[in-house]
Structure 1
Amino acid sequence: MQLSDVKLGPFHLYSIETGRFRLDGGAMFGVVPKTLWSRYIDVDEKNRINMAMRCLLITSENTDRVYLIDNGSGTKFNEKFESIYQIDHDHSNLLDSLSHHGFEPEDITDIIFSHLHFDHCGGTTYYNEQNELKHRFPNARYHITKKHLQTATDPNAREKASFLDDNIAPIKNWDKLTLVDEHHTYEEGLDALPVNGHTISQQLPRLTAEGKTVVFMADLIPTHVHLPLPWVMGYDMYPVKTLNEKERYLDQAVEEGWYLFLEHDAQQELVTAKKENGKYTVDQQLTLSDLND
């Protein structure tokens, strides 16, 4: 087991950058007009914003488990797909990021999927030189909620484009697949919070140790710019539910001083939140290494 300089009780934390991509800014901010959101985030000539695919690797001294939360888009896309989303693996990629911290795919014992949209689970599998679909993490047990797997395998027309067959089928048929219930506890100090606004039964892994809490925010709060309650993605299936979930968890985050790990923010890795005059904003802008200060 590799040791990092980011330690939270029995856990060691590593930020795993798997690449960048771009999504339409209007879709990312829903009903919020561009004149507002463009003040806080850069936009290109096609109205797209730069997005990270930042995953979290956790090792546990108590169980010797090596958890990877999500794994990016992977490489199973054609030129058209790459052009639409401007997939950028020159910035960073899954294998290099793992290697940088001293890990190989074979070291991963558990993959916790927040949900199965392509930019969160595409790195699970890859095509080899013989064009055969292979699992990237041969020793890993996959963890996904029962309700979300049902959604991913039988999606509605609006969400279907985010669930790609060559991502979903290998996960569904993996002999080490574990279907978990909402509020699942993976081990003492590591559990998951359920949210259902973005997609049915997304899970937000939460680490709690030494009086500190780190929550992997996935697509409930994809970037620090999304902290205000009404700033909800157009991609969300149930935006009013997202509003309620954001308010509930942000209130808890402010009260308990949670550290929010941001999967899609190209600039900010970790933030804390504050509430003033009924509005939520960023309090501190941090990195994982600041947890040791």
Structure 2
Amino acid sequence: MDLSDCSFGPFHLYSIETGRFRLDGGAMFGVVPKTLWSRRIKADDKNRIPMAMRCLLVTSENSGRTYLIDNGCGTKFVPKYEEIYQLDHTHSSLHRSLESHGFETGDVTDLIFSHLHFDHCGGTTFYDDRGDIRHTFPEATYHVTQKHLDTATRPNAREKASFLPDNIEPIAGWDKLNTVDDHHEYEEGLSALPAHGHTIGQQLPKITVGDRTIVFMADLLPTHVHLPLPYVMGYDMYPVQTLTEKEQFLKQAVEHNWYLFFEHDTEAEVITVHKENGRYAVKDRLSLSDIPDDK
């Protein structure tokens, strides 16, 4: 488990690997045929592709806050679903990653949820020895958009399988739950971009210092293989909206040379993007540790 970090103005950023899993390759690439996407990423004998659950820990010198953006799928799955999703916590885990950087769960003051699908929020809680659900981060305020909380607590039939009750109910009932609007600013330099195509109310945390920006991509762009505009997940609730959001986002990312931090890419942690022959492509592939500190 090779964990990276960087200083970024008044912020310090730490890559938090919480495990690996697999999802159906066809669902991950929607209408794009396997003959195309399989050239870039290999599927297993059940057509599943490898996925990271890479989260981002952000400490702030200005506010003294310690933010964790998403927290993986957690440990509450029964063996049947561990097998279906090929959950692998031998590669990495939430607790080991935090400890590797010198943190404990009690140090986290704020959980920022990009959204509440199981692979993004399952680590919020765990079952104790008596089978009761406990909160992993007892000191943390939880932040989720109001639009997305409404979606997660009243899901449609198509999205319901991603909103597991033992994940959603403890979050919705947490006494330090804070619901936010689109473009919320957590503090100076840390805000969020809205993206509603994958699921209503998704937020992409965005860290800006001077003319430099890092964006946590969540599921707007799950991997670098998804850079081509038509590569939109079958899991997305509103794929045409995702297409529009991707194009608008990538235009800005190229213009301003944004760093894109991937949650699900097993190969690329951070990239920058350029346009090549009219198509968006990887410009530089980096780790957090490669990003220079211009403080």
TM-score by structure 2 length?
Answer: 0.97
- What are the Cα deviations for residues 207-241 of structure 1, in whole angstroms up to 9, with x where unaligned? 00142100000000000000000000000000000
Instruction: Report if aligned partners of 1:8, 1:210 keep a CA contact under 8 Å in 2.
Output: no
Q: Report the Cα distance in structure 2 between the residues aligned to 1:277 and 1:91, rounded to whole angstroms.
A: 38
Going from structure 1 to structure 2, the CA distance change for 1:35 and 1:5 (only over 3 Å counts) comes to closer
- What SS is found at the alignment partner of 1:156? coil
- What SS is found at the alignment partner of 2:285? strand
Q: Report the Cα distance in structure 2 between the residues aligned to 1:273 and 1:111, rounded to whole angstroms.
A: 28
1:120-199 counterparts in 2 under 5 A? 120-199=120-199
Matched, 1:119 2:119: yes
- What SS is found at the alignment partner of 1:292? coil
Instruction: Report if aligned partners of 2:5, 2:288 keep a CA contact under 8 Å in 1.
Output: no
1:20-39 counterparts in 2 under 5 A? 20-39=20-39
Aligned to 2:204: 204
Stretch of structure 1 that moved more, 272-281 or 240-249: 272-281
The alignment yields a C-alpha RMSD, in angstroms, of 0.9
Look up the equivalent residue of 2:207 and give its one-letter code: L
Aligned to 2:98: 98
Going from structure 1 to structure 2, the CA distance change for 1:5 and 1:266 (only over 3 Å counts) comes to closer
Instruction: Report if aligned partners of 1:204, 1:217 keep a CA contact under 8 Å in 2.
Output: yes
- What are the Cα deviations for residues 26-57 of structure 1, in whole angstroms up to 9, with x where unaligned? 00000000010000111101100000000000
- What are the Cα deviations for residues 174-208 of structure 1, in whole angstroms up to 9, with x where unaligned? 00000000100000000000000000010000000
Deviation (angstroms), 1:275? 1.1
Identity of aligned residues (%): 70
Unaligned runs of 5+ in 2: none
Look up the equivalent residue of 1:234 and give its one-letter code: G
Look up the equivalent residue of 2:176 and give its one-letter code: K
Look up the equivalent residue of 2:152 and give its one-letter code: A
Q: Report the Cα distance in structure 2 between the residues aligned to 1:268 and 1:168, rounded to whole angstroms.
A: 30
Instruction: Report if aligned partners of 1:275, 1:281 keep a CA contact under 8 Å in 2.
Output: yes
Structure 1 runs, 4 residues or longer, greater than 6 Å off: none
Look up the equivalent residue of 1:219 and give its one-letter code: D
Look up the equivalent residue of 1:274 and give its one-letter code: H
Aligned to 1:223: 223
Instruction: Report if aligned partners of 1:68, 1:110 keep a CA contact under 8 Å in 2.
Output: yes
Q: Report the Cα distance in structure 1 between the residues aligned to 2:161 and 2:129, rounded to whole angstroms.
A: 26
Instruction: Report if aligned partners of 1:111, 1:143 keep a CA contact under 8 Å in 2.
Output: yes
- What SS is found at the alignment partner of 1:6? strand
Aligned to 1:280: 280
Unaligned runs of 5+ in 1: none
Look up the equivalent residue of 2:143 and give its one-letter code: H
Q: Report the Cα distance in structure 2 between the residues aligned to 1:193 and 1:41, rounded to whole angstroms.
A: 28
Look up the equivalent residue of 1:163 and give its one-letter code: F
- What are the Cα deviations for residues 32-91 of structure 1, in whole angstroms up to 9, with x where unaligned? 000100001111011000000000000000000000000000000101110110010000
TM-score by structure 1 length?
Answer: 0.98
Instruction: Report if aligned partners of 1:109, 1:140 keep a CA contact under 8 Å in 2.
Output: yes
Instruction: Report if aligned partners of 2:28, 2:235 keep a CA contact under 8 Å in 1.
Output: yes
- What SS is found at the alignment partner of 1:15? strand
Deviation (angstroms), 1:279? 1.1
Matched pairs, number: 290
Aligned to 1:257: 257
- What SS is found at the alignment partner of 2:265? coil
Look up the equivalent residue of 1:177 and give its one-letter code: L
